[in-house]
Chain A
């Protein structure tokens, strides 16, 4: 029976290389890796990321081994998985071979053949992957990739290692084919279990080399192969290949303690003082790990609306700034005698942080689960506490603090839009209601939106919904206040809203604004079991239950824009689409839809800030995307801020004749007849 021969025709002196030198190289690798990662906890703050090991293990398998996020982009995904799986299998194969050689002999007969087939298949896959990766890196050159020597070096090293492995195998097969007694049980038929090796072996055979020459080439290629593996071990912690370790760690330690729509409160140090992130020392070890994990693939950059608009924010560069600062200042800081240099304001400029719309596209795209937005908000908190905010934002925050709305109007004006509505909308503070409608600032105060808000009330009344509002008891829910980094103001607004809500008797909260929806649902403490619905979800429920019956079938061709805080943050994609279809409209999707939706540019408090120098506003880019669709008449949104943003964008891009922005409720209202 055929079986694996250990160190086939390799002189014994070289066995020591494999058993002594390579393990030493491995130790050097671990030592150098430790030298790099110790900075995480020697410089960074502690943070608990050890809980729920099984869930973490599952994430490791899903995102680290199967690499589902890497695969979400087909070409680079498949290329990466081919190479990565090559690595996994070679690692696994070497472990099996060691067991077979030194512990239990089991690689014989069919098991050996399957073992060889597996290794050989992955050799082909990995080599193909490397060639396609080189094509992408040197010919296609996508702008999001970092085209740097470090990556070229890693790719070359990996290629040479895999290729010399294949050559070694093919030379052995060529020698055995010449002299079958060299491997008992071998036959030409069995050679096809190692297809890549066998095909390559034909080249050697065609050259008609003598067995002695083949043996000698075999030895020196084997030595090259083994030496390069040693080089790889030693170099790995300072090459781009280090992501093999850091990425696995990063997905294992990814955020589990809260939903994606929930920010953590400001951390406290041992003295119970708040920690505002301004230096490396203020970041947590996990945030430093984020920096060391970044593979510079640039998917975040490609998805980022702030980057596309030409602002100073590039999410990839932001994360790399953390990494570079750590490797520049970390070693001195770790000794405890270095001064903590400012990260915010120096390495990362204020304008970079203020450009973020917190749309979450970067976080959604990142194949290794880096948490960009949390870090940005942490650093913004420092800017706010230092008073480093622009004039418009300062005015908005002052208004929010004083009047509970960014418009700087009296709270007594909050429900002015209800004046023409008959019968009068219930005051939820005075009588019990089934649905408490949290209207939100824009829907309440913006003069251009009162028509849409009144139509919402009209739809609710026509559906005989038992609902009420908080009138002047409502405050801004604080979602964007929190994302601006004004945590104290967020707490104050939330306390006031909670106090108002506590006095009411209701079953469910329904919101107009996805931003209010997110914070009420995910960030308000103890909602007392009250469900929070976005109006699109409520409409969907009412249509399904027959409470809302349309008398008119609309025949518009429309497209739908997913608000970030409804879609990406809370996964509400289907409800608004079902409502659109129920009105009779034909829905045509934009290329970037659902979790890939492109932000309007207003989120994260951007709507209250001075407009940065931009090439094109994100909202305008989005309108251009929509008008490319064939025959689309209406751009449907489900967020009051979107109505404002996109109506402006339609005007500034001169598309008033081609497309009209409609709130979802306007379609519903029209279909009710």
Chain B
């Protein structure tokens, strides 16, 4: 079975986020990137499937600072193929553009299963999975927390609010948005990662032209702003009511 896991790095919230001079994006100067937590689960789920029923796991990711370390860690965990997409990712791309370019590359890989993280905290234009499914022409299920592959079908577990769990059957190939792997992502010892650095190869592939159409344009990005000071009205009911009527009149509501 051929499993492809598109992974993206997202800003690490350990560092304070600052807005750049344009006022519409994060300042990348102080940004530190970390693997999207859900993509980490998707990777783990892919490795678990491979361990259970064989196959090949390919990790594919847009180039960014620190991406090599992430790929080597995935290799140490059991991924077979590591692909780094090289293109104009420096100023960030939206998920529409990312999905289009990923779809082009993934099509050639002819996957049976594409596992993505169900969401990322910097998804501004919807999550990646459904977009990718659309461009690949494959079915999609999100919020998945367990996968069983049976021939050309997959049975997936999906959680609903209120503690309901559904098992859905999909025809492969398909795209799944993973909420949680069947077991938490395993610990990978540093010596294994270091070994992978020596032995694993990173394949670089050109990302075809990035097309962000369909995503929103960011007008302004800002830290939460404190609201103006509230006025506390004290006194008995009559006094409070009088003051309220006064305020409404001042504001021209009455």
Contacts and interface: CB of A to CB of B under 8 A. Distances in A.
Interface of A: 266, 274, 384-385, 387, 389, 391, 394, 397-398, 401-403, 408-410, 412, 486-489, 491-492
Contact of B187 (A398, A402, A410, A492): A398
Contacts of A397: 187
B187 A489 contact: no
B194 A488 contact: yes
B47 to A, nearest CB: 11
23 contacts: A266-B191, A274-B191, A384-B189, A385-B189, A385-B191, A387-B186, A387-B188, A387-B189, A389-B187, A394-B187, A397-B187, A398-B187, A402-B34, A486-B189, A486-B190, A488-B189, A488-B190, A489-B189, A489-B190, A491-B190, A491-B191, A492-B190, A492-B194
A412 B15 CA distance: 9
Nearest to B77: A387
B15 A410 contact: yes
Contacts of A387: 186-189
Nearest to A492: B190
B14 interface: yes
Q: Which 9 A-B pairs have the closest CB atoms?
A: A488-B191, A488-B190, A387-B186, A489-B190, A394-B187, A387-B187, A385-B189, A410-B14, A389-B187
Interface of B: 14-15, 32, 34, 184, 186-194
A384 B186 CA distance: 10
Given A385-B192, A387-B186, 19 more contacts: A385-B189, A387-B187, A391-B184, A397-B187, A398-B187, A402-B34, A403-B14, A408-B14, A409-B14, A410-B15, A486-B190, A487-B191, A488-B189, A488-B191, A488-B193, A488-B194, A489-B190, A491-B191, A492-B194
A397 B14 CA distance: 16
B21 to A, nearest CB: 21
A481 to B, nearest CB: 9
Contacts of B191: 266, 274, 385, 487-488, 491
A402 B194 CA distance: 14
A567 to B, nearest CB: 30
Query: Which of B15, B184, B191, B192: most chain A CB closer than 10 A?
Result: B191
B78 to A, nearest CB: 11
Query: Which of B184, B186, B189: most chain A CB closer than 10 A?
Result: B189
Query: Which of B15, B187, B190: most chain A CB closer than 10 A?
Result: B187
Main secondary structure of the interface of A (DSSP, over half): helix
Contacts of A385: 189, 191-192
Nearest to A399: B14
Nearest to A400: B190
A260 B208 CA distance: 59
Contacts of B187: 384, 387, 389, 394, 397-398
A408 B250 CA distance: 51
B5 to A, nearest CB: 19
Contacts of B190: 401, 486, 488-489, 491-492
Contacts of B14: 403, 408-410
Nearest to B190: A488
A192 to B, nearest CB: 71
Contacts of B15: 410, 412
Contacts of B186: 387
A387 to B, nearest CB: 4
B122 to A, nearest CB: 18
Nearest to A394: B187
Nearest to A381: B189
A538 B136 CA distance: 67
A440 B188 CA distance: 25
Query: Which of A274, A487, A488, A489: most chain B CB closer than 10 A?
Result: A488
Nearest to B16: A410
A391 B187 CA distance: 9
Nearest to B193: A488
A278 to B, nearest CB: 14
Contacts of A384: 187, 189
Nearest to B34: A402
A410 B32 CA distance: 10
Contacts of A402: 34
Contacts of A401: 190
A441 to B, nearest CB: 15
Nearest to A401: B190
A160 B191 CA distance: 58
A668 B189 CA distance: 42
Nearest to B192: A385
A409 B15 CA distance: 8
Contacts of A492: 190, 194
Contacts of B192: 385, 488
A637 to B, nearest CB: 30
A272 to B, nearest CB: 12
A506 B154 CA distance: 63
Contacts of B32: 410
B116 to A, nearest CB: 22
A402 B13 CA distance: 13
A494 to B, nearest CB: 12
Contacts of A489: 189-190
A267 to B, nearest CB: 13
A394 B188 CA distance: 9
B201 to A, nearest CB: 21
A274 to B, nearest CB: 7
Contacts of B34: 402
A387 B14 CA distance: 25
Query: Which of A266, A387, A397: most chain B CB closer than 10 A?
Result: A387
A385 B190 CA distance: 9
B244 to A, nearest CB: 43
A495 to B, nearest CB: 11
A389 B185 CA distance: 12
Contacts of A487: 191
Contacts of A410: 14-15, 32
Nearest to B191: A488
Contacts of A274: 191
A158 B14 CA distance: 69
B178 to A, nearest CB: 19
B109 to A, nearest CB: 28
B138 to A, nearest CB: 32
Nearest to A391: B184
Query: Which of B14, B192, B194: most chain A CB closer than 10 A?
Result: B14
A224 B18 CA distance: 93
Contacts of A389: 187
Nearest to A385: B189
A489 B187 CA distance: 12
A398 B32 CA distance: 15
Contacts of B184: 391, 394
B189 to A, nearest CB: 5
Nearest to A266: B191
Contacts of B194: 488, 492
Nearest to B194: A488
Nearest to A398: B187
